[in-house]
A and B are shown apart, each in its own frame.
Chain A
Amino acid sequence: MAGNGNHTTSLNTYLKVYGALLVLTVLTVWIAQFHFGALNTVIAMFIATIKVLVVMYWFMHLNHDTTLNKVVIGSAFFFVFVFFGFIAIDVFSRHNFSTTELSKPQPVQQQTTEEAPKAE
């Protein structure tokens, strides 16, 4: 038939994917309350990337799509990474993280109570 990608994803695959996304969202929120320092952002990004890949693969039908479209969207994310990477090489190698005179805050080290994630 002339429809593009003439195989359709079944209904319950969609529902299973939706369920997985909700679970991952709860996981993101739950994991945010623990203290891993800078690692927190890395974990949050990792889970978010999994969710993004899930949405792209099933909801956006990349599973039945030509490799061309996969390469296209893959190159976008690659160049975002290049964009950040090279700026990070510059900024992190000339920025002394000890003293930033513009935002001299008194360090926020009050005792970290185990409140709801909102406090983190």
Chain B
Amino acid sequence: MSTARIDEQGNKVYMQYTDASQQDATGKHGVWLFLVTEVMMFSGLFVAYAIFKSIYPEIFYEGHKFLDWRMGALNTVVLLSSSLTMALSIYYVQKGKNAVAMGHLAFTLLCGAAFMVIKYFEYTHKIHEGLTPGHFFTYANGETANLALYFGIYYCMTGLHGIHVLTGMALIAWVMYRLKKGEFSPTQYTAVEGVGLFWHLVDLIWIYLFPLLYLVS
């Protein structure tokens, strides 16, 4: 296995790195590259949205009426505050106050859970109305012909985003576990920062999703 050694500041440095700062910079660079792949993956959905909205504007207009923009706005606020507390948790790890950082991480986790709960209500409300995706679509009196297309896009976008929120929550739990074990110090906290970057990306995607899906006119 790749051996790691402890350098003079007490940081664990893996064999292929000469020192801790090179290791941290590479780690962060790697996370940014991963975020690029996430952005490119979601780009497929955004392009599909843009193309179909320009071809069938009336479907999107009618479709968005079934969405409650208040729930969307609430979710946006929830995710923005979770981004704040995520950034603050890194701030406190830098300051060495691990306990406070732990609290902020817990709050971020809580916000993630809240987001999923709100999404759960939205989904059940729609499925109850028959607005289920694809050929399970039983909503009869849609004015436009292919209303199912709008909900196809809606479920794909929010579904994939939801999966990423859950993954983010699992990563935060993993970082909290390592924090409790005392693995992080003001000189070594790349993992917290990496998970933070991923969580901010999940928030970014929702920032774009909210106006596109909920505020169509």
A/B touching: CB–CB < 8 A: yes
Interface positions of A (Cβ within 8 A of B): 1-4, 8-9, 11, 14-15, 17-18, 21-22, 25, 28-29, 32-33, 35, 40-41, 44-45, 47-48, 51-52, 55-56, 58-61, 65-66, 68-69, 72-73, 75-77, 79-80, 83-84, 87-88, 91-92, 95, 97, 100, 102-108, 117-120
A60 and B200: CB pair below 8 A? Answer: yes
The stretch of B115-123, B157-165, B208-216 in contact with A is B208-216
Chain B, residues 62-73, CB within 8 Å of chain A (1/0): the string is 100100111001
B 17-57 to A, binary, CB cutoff 8 A, 1 in contact else 0:
00111001101110011011001100100110011011110
- Point out the residue from B28, B55, B70, B143 that lies within 8 Å of A95, measured CB to CB: B55
A38 to chain B, nearest CB (A): 8
A60 to B31 Cα, complex, angstroms: 11
B50 touches A84 (CB 8 A): yes
In whole angstroms, what is the CA distance A120 to B84 when docked? Answer: 31
B80 contacts which of A25, A41, A72, A88 (Cβ < 8 Å)?
A: A25
Instruction: Compute how far the CA of A29 lies from the CA of B73 in the bound complex, rounded to whole angstroms.
Output: 8
List 28 contacting pairs A-B, 8 Å CB cutoff, sorted by A: A2-B11, A2-B21, A3-B24, A3-B186, A3-B189, A4-B21, A14-B91, A17-B84, A18-B83, A25-B76, A41-B212, A41-B216, A55-B200, A59-B83, A60-B197, A61-B193, A69-B28, A76-B35, A79-B43, A80-B47, A83-B43, A83-B47, A84-B50, A88-B50, A103-B145, A105-B58, A105-B59, A117-B69
